Amino acid sequence: MHTLNCMMDYISDTTTGLVRPEYHAPTLVKLNGKGGIWYVSVTMPKALQKGAMRQEKRSTGTTDKRAAKTKIAPLTNEIYAKFDRGLAALHNSYVQETNQPAYTNTIGDFTKVFTAAPFLIKQHGLDKDPDRKITNLLPSWIVYLEDTNQGNHKERTSRRSKLLEFVSVVGNLHVEDIKKQHGYQYEKWLNDEGKANSTVRSLITKVGAFLTWCEQEDFIENNPFYNLKLSHYGKESLPYLPFDLDELTAIFAQEMNDADRLCLSILAVTGARLDEIALLDWSQVKTEFGITFIDLRPEEVIVKTDGSHRVVPIHPAVAETLWSTKKSETGRIFDYKIDVNGKSQNDASKTLMPYIRNVTKHDRKVVHSLRGTFKQMLENAGITQSMVEKLESGEISLTEIDLAIRENKVDKRVNDKITGHSARDTAGKYGFGPLLIPRANAVSKIDVSFLGPHH
């Protein structure tokens, strides 16, 4: 009995915010007769109880308490949804009864109609427009985002999926019933899922954008997520760490297939994002002024931000290897699987991460760390902002720039331009020369001996 009480305290802590006051709170029960599987159990409303059947249960499918804990919210909402349907059906049966002529000597015969039905109507939203439920409004919101050109397809898909995730946690509510407490319920669930604080903020913002639209459409009076307290939820976000030279050398010293080696090599000498390279097509690899570069400017190219549409020079040593693998004018260079969102980084990361983990187990050193490592190497190449401006205006020669590079000066503008952290690139009257040449000069100064004899 003591163990059960402890278990219920544990559940109480993990289900704070399951806001359905008309229903009982869930408990987690371990059924030894079911092989020790944990079940989420909720006491039925009295109107739905039949004989000894007083509990509605859902299996978590696991004997692990921690794993079972993560399934409490979605399974509880599934049970609550069943209660909603059962009570709604019960209400409909009451309505049918009132449609039949009858005679009675006592008002008691109508007690269940006059007492239970109004409660059901109010508590279960039967007096509200079903079109105002979250999932019913979702398609119209997405159309609005498309019509107003808010975000690209990837971002709109993300907003849709995260709003549905919110529904899985708090239920498919009528939007006028959403309160601040539901925001905190979602935040706590994200916190329990181990999400970083920055991720919690981002996801709350996505749901909040939907509620702002609801406010604009006069579906709700005010956005209840305005001024939510977010600082106490989620882990502190820590940046990925760059590799040191020994780690970098060890990564490329491993045996690996040619495609994976080429992908990692391009990442290491461009600072590009994994998805940009994993999706790379031969039509994007170009040459101008004797410089091999990746053209990420076309609108159809999937990049993280608008400023990520840019031209990226490839170090001559890696460019030579890249050209040697070319077999056609168009088509993807790598065959990492593309997901439903048109991205390939998940499969590419799954393929490439074992090479990283063979060298370091540090959880902040991943494939993306090559991006930070490149930035450090680029700083060692150096070029000043004034040099870039003078080159573009014709006031300085490449020879003078090459000489100045040796002073080991750093230009954040060039660093940001190459890695996609500034405004998008556009070709001027001299083509891409003014954009490419300063960057290519800086990139060519990088010591790529860490690549080993394979490149």
DSSP string for 324-372: HT--SSSSBS--PPP-TTS--HHHHHHHHHHHHHTT---TT-STTHHHH
Strand order across the 27-31 sheet: 27-31, 37-43, 55-59
Report the percent of the chain where pLDDT is more than 90: 30
410 or 280, greater pLDDT: 280
pLDDT > 90? residue 246: yes
Tell me how far apart the alpha carbons of residues 38 and 60 are, in angstroms, rounded to a whole number: 6
Q: Which amino acid is at 236?
A: E
pLDDT > 50? residue 18: yes
18 or 241, greater pLDDT: 241
Tell me how far apart the alpha carbons of residues 327 and 341 are, in angstroms, rounded to a whole number: 28
pLDDT > 80? residue 144: yes
How many Cβ atoms from other residues are within 10 Å of residue 113's Cβ? Answer: 14
The residue ranges of every structural domain in the chain are: 1-126, 131-216, 245-454
Helix pair 258-270, 369-381: axis angle to 10 deg: 50
Give the lowest-confidence range in 7-16, 83-92, 263-272.
7-16
379 or 339, greater pLDDT: 339
Reported as a single tens digit per residue, the pLDDT across 162-197 is 999 999 899 999 999 999 999 999 988 888 888 888
Give the lowest-confidence range in 73-77, 188-192, 300-304, 339-343.
300-304
Give the lowest-confidence range in 15-19, 83-87, 95-99, 207-211.
15-19
Angle CA 417–422–427, to nearest 5: 65
Contact 276, 303 (CB under 8 A): yes
What pLDDT sits at residue 321?
93
Contact 186, 202 (CB under 8 A): no
> Which residue is listed with tokens 């959403």?
178
How does residue 50 score in pLDDT terms, banded at 50, 70 and 90? confident
What pLDDT sits at residue 17?
45
Three-state DSSP state, 303: coil
pLDDT > 70? residue 383: no
Q: Which amino acid is at 33?
A: G
Contact 26, 15 (CB under 8 A): yes
What pLDDT sits at residue 436?
62
What pLDDT sits at residue 70?
86
How many Cβ atoms from other residues are within 10 Å of residue 370's Cβ? Answer: 29
Contact 313, 414 (CB under 8 A): no
Mean pLDDT over residues 341-365, rounded? Answer: 93
Pick the CATH number of 245-454 from 1.10.3470, 1.10.443, 1.10.357, 1.20.1300: 1.10.443
What pLDDT sits at residue 208?
92
Q: Considering only CA atoms, give the Rg of the chain.
A: 30
Say how many Å lie between the first and final Cα of the chain, rounded.
67
pLDDT > 90? residue 49: no
Where helices occur in 223-293 by DSSP H, the ranges are 245-252, 258-270, 274-278
What pLDDT sits at residue 207?
94
How does residue 119 score in pLDDT terms, banded at 50, 70 and 90? low
Mean pLDDT over residues 276-284, rounded? Answer: 93
Mean pLDDT over residues 83-105, rounded? Answer: 64
20 or 264, greater pLDDT: 264
pLDDT > 60? residue 104: no
Hey, what's the torsion of the CAs at 127, 128, 134, 140, to 10 degrees? 150
Model's pTM, two decimal places? 0.51
What pLDDT sits at residue 2?
35
Residues 6 or more apart in contact with residue 395 via CB below 8 angstroms: none
What pLDDT sits at residue 408?
45
What pLDDT sits at residue 453?
81
Reported as a single tens digit per residue, the pLDDT across 403-450 is 444 444 434 444 444 444 443 433 333 334 445 666 677 777 788 899
pLDDT > 50? residue 370: yes
Reported as a single tens digit per residue, the pLDDT across 296-337 is 875 544 444 444 457 788 889 999 999 999 888 889 999 999
Q: Quick one: residue 388, left, alpha or beta (phi over 0 = left, psi -120 to 50 = alpha)?
A: alpha
What pLDDT sits at residue 92?
64
pLDDT > 70? residue 269: yes
Tell me how far apart the alpha carbons of residues 150 and 300 are, in angstroms, rounded to a whole number: 16
> Which residue is listed with tokens 């105002």?
132
Give the lowest-confidence range in 14-28, 307-321, 359-373.
14-28
166 or 102, greater pLDDT: 166
Residues 6 or more apart in contact with residue 22 via CB below 8 angstroms: 45, 123, 124
Which whole-number Å values give the CA distances from 359 to 43, 216, 251, 370, in the listed order? 53, 53, 6, 14
pLDDT > 70? residue 358: yes
What pLDDT sits at residue 424?
41
Exposure letters 164-178 (e unless 16+ CB within 10 A, then b): ebbbebbbbbbbebb
